[in-house]
């Protein structure tokens, strides 16, 4: 089990100036293990600074969630360090870019290609649910290719909105969540409601990702948020021609009801 080390990262890793990317949390830098020479990625999160810092308890929650995760389609965390000014999360390097970028470049995937992507994502989601974790922000931006290779495996990342629950309670549907969170194009209808929601919200998001894979755009259009959320709650979406003419009826099956999803 990985624990949070209360010391600086530099005794174990050499941080490089080059970066993998930036986000609202800070920066992901390239680094090298001093003892093995292994290349890693380090997410550097400032407790203070230009980005305002992130609340310490939220960072610690994300670390607590990630430390027990071990699945080929989820970005792995190797170690984490806390100093007075920063958190450093050491992860496997993922260099292939976002799934969203590949979709934009290709315009859309074939059913065979989309099925391969979907199976990897849903396999990871099933695993996360089995260990009590609900991601709550699944979208193509949070699915990465491990390498630039065309057949590179996919990796789910960014557990900043995730929650961990008792496994039995989650599986039985008794672990309910109430926070309104996620991304508008991928949020499940029950998340927008007032009765709470369970792990099925992730399955809905996976369905939205599959929709984007097959046609290149999100299922609920470019309306105002109010109209978009209304369409989501009613399960109102279309398969417009010519974008869906090549897609089979089986690939268009979608369930609004939580209990009827995968």
**Rounded to whole angstroms, how far apart are CA atoms 247 and 170?**
34
Helix (H, G, I), strand (E, B) or coil at 86: strand
- Chain-centre distance for alpha carbon 60: 18
* Alpha-helical regions (H) of the chain: 56-66, 99-106, 111-130, 167-171, 189-192, 200-215, 225-234
- The answer to whether 149 is a known catalytic residue is no
Q: Which of 101, 137, 151, 250 is catalytic?
A: 137
Distances (CA, A) of 195 to 116, 134, 155: 34, 17, 31
Torsion of CA 72, 124, 247, 233, to 10 degrees: -150
Q: What is the largest CA-CA distance in the chain?
A: 58
User: Is 80 in contact with 89 (CB distance < 8 Å)?
Assistant: yes
Residue carrying structure tokens 């407790």? 47
Q: In what order do the strands lie in the sheet with 13-23?
A: 4-5, 77-82, 86-91, 39-46, 26-33, 13-23
Q: Are 28 and 46 in contact (CB under 8 A)?
A: no
Question: Any idea of the CA torsion for 35, 43, 75, 70, to the nearest 10 degrees?
Answer: 60
Residues acting as catalytic residues: 137
């Amino acid at each position: 089990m990985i624990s949070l080390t209360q010391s600086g990262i530099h005794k174990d890793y050499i941080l490089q100036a080059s970066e993998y990317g930036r986000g609202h949390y800070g920066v992901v830098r390239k680094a090298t293990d001093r003892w093995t020479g292994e290349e890693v990625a380090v997410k550097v999160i400032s407790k203070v600074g230009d980005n305002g810092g992130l609340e310490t308890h939220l960072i610690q929650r994300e670390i607590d969630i990630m430390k027990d995760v071990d699945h080929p389609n989820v970005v792995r965390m190797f170690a984490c360090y806390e100093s007075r000014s920063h958190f450093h999360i050491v992860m496997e390097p993922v260099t292939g870019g976002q799934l969203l970028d590949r979709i934009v470049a290709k315009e859309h995937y074939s059913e065979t290609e989309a099925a391969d992507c979907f199976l990897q994502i849903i396999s990871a989601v099933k695993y996360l649910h089995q260990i009590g974790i609900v991601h709550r922000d699944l979208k193509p931006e949070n699915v990465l290719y491990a390498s630039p290779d065309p057949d590179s495996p996919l990796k789910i990342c960014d557990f900043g909105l995730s929650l961990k629950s008792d496994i039995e309670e989650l599986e039985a549907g008794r672990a309910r969540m109430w926070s309104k969170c996620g991304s508008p194009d991928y949020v499940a209808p029950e998340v927008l409601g007032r009765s709470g929601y369970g792990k099925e919200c992730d399955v809905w998001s996976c369905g939205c990702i599959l929709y984007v894979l097959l046609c290149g755009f999100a299922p609920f259009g470019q309306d105002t948020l109010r109209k978009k959320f209304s369409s989501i709650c009613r399960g109102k979406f279309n398969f417009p021609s010519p974008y869906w003419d090549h897609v089979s009826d089986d690939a268009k099956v979608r369930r609004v009801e939580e209990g009827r999803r995968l």
